[in-house]
A = this chain, B = another copy of it.
Amino acid sequence: MFEFEIEARSGPARAGKLTLPHGTVDTPVFMPVGTQGTVRALSPNDLRSAGATLVLANTYHLHVRPGEQVVERLGGLHRFMAWDRPLLTDSGGFQVFSLEGFRRVDEDGVEFQSHVDGSRRTLTPERATEIQWILGADIAMAFDHVVPGGADEATARDALERTLKWLERCARRHRELADGRTGGRADGTAVTDRQSAGPAVRQTLWPILQGGTHLQLRTEGLRRILELGSWTGLAVGGLSVGEPKALMYDILERLEPKLPALPRYLMGVGFPQDLVAAVERGVDLFDCVAPTRNGRNGSAFTPDGPVNIRNAEHREDPRPLDATCDCETCTTFSRGYLRHLFVAEELLGLRLLSLHNVRYLIRLAAEMRAAIRRSALGPWAAEWRRRYLHARSA
């Protein structure tokens, strides 16, 4: 369980297979984001038809509403959202540090205000780990301190140190839960240990590397994470949060030779060109709300660059959104009809463009996987960029 087999390489890029309790995941892979236990506008059947193998859900959102106890009583996160394939939950760190209502951070954890009812709440490494254990995703993430993209070195150093200390506490609590030594919760109530009734280990915990845009902090953070334990995967957080793209690519490129053979998850990325650039730099997993958020705004990914379906040029266009795509949207409807749905503010439009965009990123990852397996990622990427970026500037 939680094994990662690298099946092929093309430069730093890898094609791999990640084995998880709810199934195997071919990498590189794009994870659709199910913030509140649902990928916006899409059903589990839609996700399966789009080829999704791994879905992300947000710990912060599910903790605030409906609450992890409700999810637990409804059978755990898989049953709750009717997704029987692998799930990953983030730790809530990114959300509480991005929130408007963020209040106070100290060594113990973060106090924040719920965006739903304004109530004061606290997340600590232990609580974030317990909540994720109760939710029961295949992969849980360590609770981290995220700083803005432009943070100076002292600020980034401070957050890195805290993240490393919190990682130890997350890992300790996760081991206790996995071993059935649940004890009490950090808040004094009992943890219902539904998960440990089955096979010994139902969930793995991945650390998150922080360090802002400071390569030296990233390198040091990586070394210290690897000293702290034997992990089954590793996330790179705190990128794609406002810093220049070239800087993100540069950090990934310089980190890559120092990374172990573990699966590497670049959090919050991304757009098609970012996926391609990051896979070329050795990244295996991605998540981003872009395909669904952009889809709801009428913006679709295509091999020739983004298309805004609201544009008048599509009014009488009988062609599919993306002639190369096999999704329900592209095999069933014309651009003219899709435009009509958006202009007429029909709900079906939101779904159809979200579905296409998710399918687009999943296919993009699968195409890169195939290119890696034939040791031809470089030429594939050059051709892909020629078409995608040329069209954009046209």
Q: Which residues of A contact B (CB under 8 A)?
A: 36-38, 40-45, 61, 65-66, 70, 73-75, 79-82, 315-316, 318, 328, 332-334, 336-337, 339-341, 343-344, 346-348, 350-352
Contacts of A74 in B (CB 8 A): 316, 318, 334, 336-337
For this chain, the copies found in one complex come to: 2
By the criterion CB–CB under 8 Å, are B40 and A347 in contact?
A: yes
Contacts of A351 in B (CB 8 A): 41, 43, 347, 351
Contacts of A43 in B (CB 8 A): 328, 332, 348, 351-352
Min distance, Cβ A83 to any Cβ of chain B, angstroms: 10
Contacts of A348 in B (CB 8 A): 38, 40-43
Partner of A38, one of B45, B315, B339, B341: B341
Partner of A315, one of B40, B66, B80: B66
Q: A36-B344, A43-B348 are in contact. List 10 more A-B contacts (CB 8 A).
A: A37-B340, A40-B347, A41-B348, A61-B344, A65-B344, A66-B336, A66-B339, A66-B344, A70-B340, A74-B334
Contacts of A79 in B (CB 8 A): 334
Q: Taking each of A38, A339, A348, A350, which has the highest tally of chain B beta carbons within 10 Å of its own beta carbon?
A: A348
By the criterion CB–CB under 8 Å, are A70 and B318 in contact?
A: no
Knowing A75-B318, A340-B65 are in contact, say whether A45-B328 is a contact too (CB < 8 A): yes
By the criterion CB–CB under 8 Å, are B82 and A346 in contact?
A: no
Q: Taking each of A38, A45, A73, A332, which has the highest tally of chain B beta carbons within 10 Å of its own beta carbon?
A: A38
Knowing A74-B318, A347-B351 are in contact, say whether A337-B82 is a contact too (CB < 8 A): yes
Partner of A346, one of B40, B328, B344, B346: B40
By the criterion CB–CB under 8 Å, are B332 and A70 in contact?
A: no
A–B pairs, 23, beta carbons within 8 Å: A36-B340, A37-B337, A37-B340, A38-B346, A42-B348, A43-B328, A43-B348, A43-B352, A61-B344, A65-B340, A65-B344, A66-B315, A70-B315, A70-B336, A70-B340, A74-B316, A74-B318, A80-B334, A80-B336, A80-B337, A81-B337, A82-B332, A82-B337
Cα A301 to Cα B108 in complex, Å, equals 49
Among residues of B, the one whose C-beta sits closest to the C-beta of A315 is B70
Min distance, Cβ A387 to any Cβ of chain B, angstroms: 27
Among residues of B, the one whose C-beta sits closest to the C-beta of A49 is B45
Among residues of B, the one whose C-beta sits closest to the C-beta of A343 is B65
Contacts of A328 in B (CB 8 A): 43, 45
Cα A315 to Cα B73 in complex, Å, equals 10
Min distance, Cβ A365 to any Cβ of chain B, angstroms: 24
User: A-B pairs with the 5 shortest C-beta distances?
Assistant: A41-B347, A74-B336, A36-B344, A73-B316, A66-B340
Among residues of B, the one whose C-beta sits closest to the C-beta of A61 is B344
By the criterion CB–CB under 8 Å, are B350 and A347 in contact?
A: yes
Among residues of B, the one whose C-beta sits closest to the C-beta of A39 is B348
Cα A41 to Cα B42 in complex, Å, equals 11
Cα A264 to Cα B274 in complex, Å, equals 59
Q: Taking each of A318, A328, A347, A351, which has the highest tally of chain B beta carbons within 10 Å of its own beta carbon?
A: A347
Contacts of A45 in B (CB 8 A): 328
